[in-house]
């Protein structure tokens, strides 16, 4: 009698375990489906950073002024990106002047302010828009490149930066710009990382050289720096950096690359 009760209890127990396993596997399938749906409808927050300002001047050469050009490109990029569903776009500055204290002796506070602003609006990504200048006026330096986070400390952030950078670079080269083989970090791809020589992340690995990139990585989101073209290269300057229409072409290229990376669809 005892044995048969034991058997019944065992069978009942097995049955209830099987039932609960089935229920939990059904639940996890449900949870996965819900997670997937949430991911598909997740709103992306893009923060565009028009590099430099009237306090922290960028490169200037002949009639080209980088801080103004970057602001044009950022506005055109925002305007184009807002044609897509599922994205909110902010800019770290909307005017010519520095909104982060305008300290002429240092750009550190300004750069920190830009990253903190991105964090405050829950940025998925911070995209800093720039143009380049060769200090030796080396005419062979031309075209576009994207500086991405290095693989240290948060390798996942490096991967995101690389994929997004490649997507934007493909659009920029479609406007006729070359891929820049930057002489500081030549690798032929136009997607580059640059390490700090002294700074380290909490795990002891080399920090990214650029403050925007290393501060954003420390706060947990990717930042990339898009260098559209060289003002010291005559072809780049005349054909890509001279008119509002040309800035619009660059801003639209950036936006298209961003939209393709995130799989956004037009409204
Ligand atoms: Zn710059």
- Pairing state between β 64-65 and 60-61: antiparallel
User: How does residue 8 score in pLDDT terms, banded at 50, 70 and 90?
Assistant: very low
Average pLDDT over residues 157-182: 97
Query: What architecture is the 43-262 domain classified under in CATH?
Result: 3-Layer(aba) Sandwich (3.40)
225 CA distance to ligand 1 middle (Å): 9
Strands in the chain per DSSP E? 44-50, 60-61, 64-65, 87-91, 125-132, 145-147, 191-192, 195-200, 206-208, 223-230
Predicted local distance difference test score (pLDDT) of residue 139: 86
Domain spans of the chain, in order of start: 1-41, 43-262
71 CA distance to ligand 1 middle (Å): 11
pTM of the model: 0.85
3 CA distance to ligand 1 middle (Å): 82
User: How does residue 66 score in pLDDT terms, banded at 50, 70 and 90?
Assistant: very high
151 CA distance to ligand 1 middle (Å): 23
130 CA distance to ligand 1 middle (Å): 4
51 CA distance to ligand 1 middle (Å): 6
| Interval 71-110: pLDDT, tens | 999 999 999 999 999 999 999 999 999 999 999 988 999 9
Predicted local distance difference test score (pLDDT) of residue 184: 87
Task: Report how far residue 133's alpha carbon sits from residue 66's, in angstroms, rounded to the nearest whole number.
Answer: 9
- Pairing state between β 64-65 and 191-192: unpaired
68 CA distance to ligand 1 middle (Å): 11
Whose tokens are 């690995």? That residue is: 205
Token digits for 243?
A: 């008119």
Predicted local distance difference test score (pLDDT) of residue 185: 87
């Amino acid at each position: 009698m005892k044995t048969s009760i034991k058997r019944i209890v065992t069978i009942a127990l097995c049955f209830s375990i099987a039932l609960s396993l089935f229920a939990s596997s059904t639940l996890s399938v449900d949870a996965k489906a819900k997670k997937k749906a949430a991911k598909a409808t997740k709103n992306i927050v893009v923060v565009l950073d028009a590099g430099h300002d009237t306090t922290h001047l960028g490169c200037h050469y002949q009639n080209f002024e980088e801080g103004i050009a970057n602001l044009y490109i950022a506005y055109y990029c925002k305007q184009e990106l807002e044609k897509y569903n599922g994205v909110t776009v902010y800019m770290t500055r909307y005017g010519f002047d520095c909104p982060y204290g305008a300290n002429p002796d240092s750009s550190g506070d300004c750069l920190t302010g830009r990253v903190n602003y991105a964090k405050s609006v829950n940025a998925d990504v911070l995209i800093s828009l720039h143009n380049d200048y060769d200090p030796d006026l080396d005419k062979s330096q031309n075209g576009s490149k994207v500086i991405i986070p290095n693989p240290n400390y948060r390798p996942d952030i490096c991967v995101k930066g690389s994929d997004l950078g490649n997507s934007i670079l493909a659009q920029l080269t479609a406007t006729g710009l070359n891929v820049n083989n930057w002489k500081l970090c030549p690798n032929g791809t136009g997607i580059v990382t640059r390490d700090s020589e002294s700074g380290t992340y909490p795990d002891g690995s080399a920090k990214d050289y650029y403050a925007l990139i290393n501060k954003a990585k420390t706060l947990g989101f990717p930042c990339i720096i898009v260098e559209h073209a060289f003002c010291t290269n005559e072809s780049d300057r005349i054909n890509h950096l001279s008119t509002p229409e040309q800035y619009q072409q660059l801003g639209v290229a950036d936006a298209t690359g961003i939209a393709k990376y995130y799989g956004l669809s037009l409204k």
